[in-house]
């Protein structure tokens, strides 16, 4: 079988199984092919598509396609995934970074609220519920003089944080990882910026999620407690203590939660901005710590 035939057959199988539509199914098959052949996809598509696969390659590709057809996330099969300009290790035990998180992080970094910190500020930040470390690593890369604390309650998630810091030594030098519960381990008044993508799915909605998410991503990364907003409620109640006056708090949330979150008690904080994601869905709220 040629690489092209494998691609066509597998993309069609992925489409029949409802994993992805047309181009999405072909892209998924292409990424598996790239992983096994060890060649960039464009190269495979250009010249290599006519080449005949070896028996070993066909067997390896068959195993990966079967895993994907059993609804294992493509990202876990590949073992890595992109977040903005980072490539991060992912796998069972950690949430796969999402494009909607890229959207608000990008918007936050381009917003006047953050630009007033200056071009190269020596900020101190915390990333609550860091998972792969996606957001914290992005901030550390953007601000080469910044320092940050990456917090997660899950030891399994922090193992991925550790691996991703090892992949990014220039940023890792300025980052510390802590196993902890929200702001509990953070020093009073020490932070210019606290960001977080904490779980925000209502547990009643968990059974209806796609199998890739429901059966493979960790529940501790998804379940936001009653109404989905319990963890964010707890952060808002306590984060005013750790942010210095004028500092910012940016939290990702689910579509339809904005109105509820705006009404939650947030001592010493004033709401400053709301960002939607690229699909136009409510995604992030930003508060500023009031002067004491
Ligand atoms: C939705 S995932 C986000 C991961 C990563 N920040 C991202 O955007 O891809 C939520 C993360 O919060 C962590 N988490 C859940 N409850 C927590 C708590 N009480 N304190 C700290 N981290 C928590 C989970 O382990 C998980 O890694």
Over residues 79-98, the pLDDT tens digits come to 999 999 999 999 999 999 99
Ligand 1 atom 17: residue of nearest CA: 153
Contact predicate 8/30, CB 8 Å: no
pLDDT of residue 42: 60
Choose among 190, 199, 189, 187: nearest CA to 153.
199
Cα–Cα dist 23/134, whole Å: 27
Mutation pick for ligand 1 pocket among 86, 198, 284 (CB with most ligand atoms within 8 Å): 198
Q: Is 211 exposed, middle or buried (0-12, 13-18, 19+ CB in 10 A)?
A: exposed
Over residues 190-245, the pLDDT tens digits come to 999 999 999 999 999 999 999 999 999 999 999 999 999 999 999 999 999 999 99
Cα–Cα dist 23/39, whole Å: 20
pLDDT of residue 95: 98
Q: Does domain 83-289 bear CATH number 3.40.50.10490?
A: no
Work out the number of other CB atoms within 10 angstroms of the CB of residue 99.
Answer: 12
Distance (Å) from CA 220 to ligand 1 centroid? 7
Cα–Cα dist 20/31, whole Å: 13
Over residues 162-183, the pLDDT tens digits come to 999 999 999 999 999 999 999 9
The CA-based angle 85-87-91, given to 5 degrees, is 145
User: Is 105 close to ligand 1, i.e. is its CB under 6 Å away?
Assistant: no
Distance (Å) from CA 3 to ligand 1 centroid? 39
Ligand 1 atom with least separation from CA of 152: 22
For the chain, which residues make up each domain, given as ranges?
Answer: 3-70, 83-289
Ligand 1 atom with least separation from CA of 154: 25
Helix and strand numbers, DSSP H then E, in the chain:
13, 9
User: Is 198 close to ligand 1, i.e. is its CB under 6 Å away?
Assistant: yes
User: Is 33 close to ligand 1, i.e. is its CB under 6 Å away?
Assistant: no
Sheet holding 269-276, edge to edge: 175-179, 147-152, 124-128, 191-196, 243-252, 282-289, 269-276
Mean pLDDT of the chain: 95
Beta bridge partners of 178: 151
């Amino acid at each position: 079988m040629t690489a092209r035939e494998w691609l066509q057959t597998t993309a069609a199988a992925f489409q029949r199984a409802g994993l992805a539509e047309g181009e999405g199914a072909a892209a998924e098959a292409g990424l598996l092919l790239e992983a096994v052949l060890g060649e960039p996809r464009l190269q495979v598509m250009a010249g290599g598509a006519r080449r005949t696969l070896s028996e070993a390659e066909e067997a390896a590709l068959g195993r990966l396609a079967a895993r994907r057809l059993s609804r294992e996330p493509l990202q876990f099969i590949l073992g890595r995934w992109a977040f903005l300009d980072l490539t991060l290790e992912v796998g069972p035990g950690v949430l796969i970074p999402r494009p909607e998180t890229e959207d608000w992080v990008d918007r936050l970094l381009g917003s006047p609220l953050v630009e007033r910190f200056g071009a190269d500020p020596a900020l101190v930040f915390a990333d609550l519920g860091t998972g792969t470390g996606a957001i914290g690593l992005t901030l550390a890369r953007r601000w080469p003089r910044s320092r940050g604390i990456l917090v997660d309650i899950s030891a399994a998630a922090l193992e991925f944080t550790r691996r991703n810091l090892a992949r990014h030594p220039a940023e890792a030098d300025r980052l510390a990882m802590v196993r902890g519960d929200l702001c509990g381990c953070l020093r009073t008044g020490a932070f210019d910026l606290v960001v977080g993508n904490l779980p925000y799915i209502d547990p009643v909605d968990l059974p209806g999620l796609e199998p890739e998410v429901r059966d493979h991503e960790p529940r501790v990364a998804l379940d936001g407690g009653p109404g989905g907003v319990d963890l964010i409620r707890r952060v808002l109640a306590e984060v005013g203590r750790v942010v210095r006056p004028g500092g910012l708090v940016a939290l990702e949330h689910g579509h339809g939660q904005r109105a509820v979150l705006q009404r939650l008690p947030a001592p010493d904080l004033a709401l400053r901005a709301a960002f939607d994601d690229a699909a136009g869905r409510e995604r992030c709220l930003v508060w500023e710590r009031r002067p004491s």
